[in-house]
Amino acid sequence: MAAATMMPYFGQQMSSKTELVPDWTGQEVSTGTTIMAVEYDGGVVIGADSRTTTGAYIANRVTDKLTPIHDRIFCCRSGSAADTQAIADVVTYQLGFHSIELDEPPLVETAANLFRASCYKYREELTAGILVAGWDRRKGGQVYCVPIGGMLVRQPVSVGGSGSSYIYGFMDSNYKLSMTKDQCLELTASALSLAMERDGSSGGVVRLASISEEGVERRVLLGDQLPKFSTH
Amino acid sequence: MEKRSADSQVKGVSTGTTILAATFKGGVVIGSDSRASMGGEYVSSKTINKVIQVHDQIFCCMAGSLADAQAVTKAAKFHLSFHSVQMETPPLVIAAASVLQEMCYKNREELQAGFITAGWDRKKGPQVYVVSLGGMLVGQPVTIGGSGSTYIYGYVDAKYKPNMSRDECLQFATNALALAMGRDNVSGGVAHLVVITETGVEHVVVPGNKLPKFHNE
């Protein structure tokens, strides 16, 4: 942040030093965000908004917060952009190495545990909330939640980020066990749109991906394609 | 560092409660949970009624410091009954909301109370007004408040439709309260609901075990 001027106050001042440098130049880059992941029989659906903010400035309005960790394993990032990118890079390396050693595709649970290990070990320094989702041969589609602090829990559906608070009610009432892939995509798109409407730190486009044995299918929903609700 | 505490980031000070009001075709539903807590750790009352009657067909819900809210509603009740005697007609809903707003704004430094006012009057029919913590007054078809409301913004945005029937609206309000109570630890107990129409007022209380259950319960 710009330091306060040391000059004595001589009558009128044209502008103080703090006005010349906007407030957001001193703020950390944050993915105040909304992310979501849902399991279905045969795979997972993940989604995220696309806004990265530095204070009140939107640093990137088309961010991709769905980061591939391995062929059939993705992570959704929320919290500090720098922290989550660094952790994701580390885990991608660790998992790739492990997969070569094993000579077979890695398990989603392994990826989640690697995230948890880093997030827990450095929990004092990091601000990272991550959803790990993917498909493997042993357990099919899985979603693991690694929130700030470094806990690990598997959940059939999970939301994260600052916008997630607003959609807990919607998610609780609309999620049912045994939904199809298309129902999951619709649920995720609707939930993310609702959160983006209410959370100032979430917005832009909705990025979706579905992961199954066949592979990864990615989609982007632009502003005019987002589900609409009768908001007042 | 971005802290993910929903209360401090989103609502300012925690107002341990969930309140809502919604208009339907011919009336309004206003409701709340029934938990009073101290510091988010101790439940000081499991069955407090936060829906207060300020006139025959005007109710309000309070959020924030219960002491402040009770003091303000008591003063508003008196003010309104006096106003209604002077005017020789039942007060308008907006009059009730304005009385609360005036008190909240004048004393905004000392008070920590927000209100939702809902009712029916001859001039404009069913209405809902919200008076926020600082004393802003806004009329809306549906509104939610309190700490538990953050979790149901998405649900309310998606599910509320104008001109629902009475039963649809009652079900919507019950579901919304149940969902909020399920996620907010300082909201809970029973759901107190009041349905106000031209013909009168009906109280509905849904005890905890009769609340709608969702997939994760």
Type of residue at A89: D
User: What is the least distance, in Å, from the CA of A84 to any CA of chain B?
Assistant: 13
The pLDDT > 70 percentage for chain A reads 85
- In chain A, the percentage of residues whose pLDDT exceeds 90 is 78
As for the ipTM of the complex, it is 0.79
Contact check, Cβ <8 Å, B161/A175: no
Q: Which of B2, B176, B179 sits opposite A79 (nearest CB)?
A: B2
List the single best residue of B7, B18, B24, B153 to mutate versus A (max A Cβ within 10 A): B153
Which residue shows structure tokens 């009770």? B70
Helices (H) and strands (E) in chain B, counts: 5, 12
Please state the rounded mean pLDDT for residues B187-216.
91
State how far the alpha carbon of B177 is from the alpha carbons of B18, B171, B172, in Å. Answer: 7, 10, 9
Q: Are B26 and B198 in contact (CB under 8 A)?
A: yes
- Asked if A33 is an active-site residue, the reply is yes
Question: Does residue A13 have a pLDDT over 80?
Answer: no
Residue pair A109/A84 in contact (Cβ under 8 Å)? The answer is: no
- In chain A, residues with a C-beta closer than 8 Å to the C-beta of B23 are none
pLDDT in tens, A151-207: 999 999 999 999 999 999 999 999 999 999 999 999 999 999 999 999 999 999 999
Q: Which of B2, B142, B159, B172 to mutate to test the interface with A (most CBs of A within 10 A)?
A: B2
> Is residue B37 less than 8 Å (CB to CB) from chain A?
no
CB within 8 Å: B154 and A32: no
Helices (H) and strands (E) in chain A, counts: 5, 13
User: Cα B34 from chain centroid?
Assistant: 12
- The predicted pLDDT at position B50 comes to 87
Q: Is residue B3 predicted with pLDDT exceeding 50?
A: no
Q: Look at strands B58-64 and B51-55 and give their pairing.
A: antiparallel
Q: What 3-state DSSP class applies to B207?
A: coil
Identify the residue whose tokens are 């004048």: B106
In this structure, what token pair is assigned to residue B213? 């259950």
- Closest residue in B to A82 (Cα) is B1
Contacts of B214 in chain A (CB under 8 A): 172-173
CA dist B200 and A193 (Å) reads 38
pLDDT at A16 (0 to 100): 53
**Given this model, what pLDDT does residue B63 score?**
82
Give the side-chain half-sphere CA count within 13 A for B84.
21
CA-to-CA dists, residue A102 to A83, A99, A118, A136, B131, angstroms: 28, 5, 21, 14, 62
B180 to chain A, any CB pair closer than 8 A? The answer is yes
pLDDT, tens only, B147-177: 899 999 999 999 999 999 999 999 999 999 9
pLDDT attached to residue A14: 55
- pLDDT > 50? residue A4: no
The closest CB to that of A173, out of B150, B155, B162, belongs to B155
Chain A nearest CA to B109, separation (Å): 27
Amino acid at A110: T
C-alpha–C-alpha distance, residues B32 and B60, integer Å: 10
Q: Residue A28: pLDDT band by 50, 70, 90 thresholds? A: low
Indicate the helix (H) or strand (E) that contains A52: strand A52-54
Interface touch B154/A171, C-beta < 8 Å: yes
Average pLDDT (A36-44) is 96
Query: What is the Cα–Cα distance from B103 to B153, expressed in whole angstroms?
Result: 28
Residue A35: is its pLDDT beyond 90? yes
- d(CA A17, CA A8) in angstroms, rounded, equals 13
| Shortest distance, CA A24 to any CA of chain B (angstroms) | 14
Reference A145, options A193, A192, A173, A109; nearest CA is A109
Q: What is the pTM of this model?
A: 0.83
Determine contact: B92 vs chain A, CB below 8 A.
Answer: no
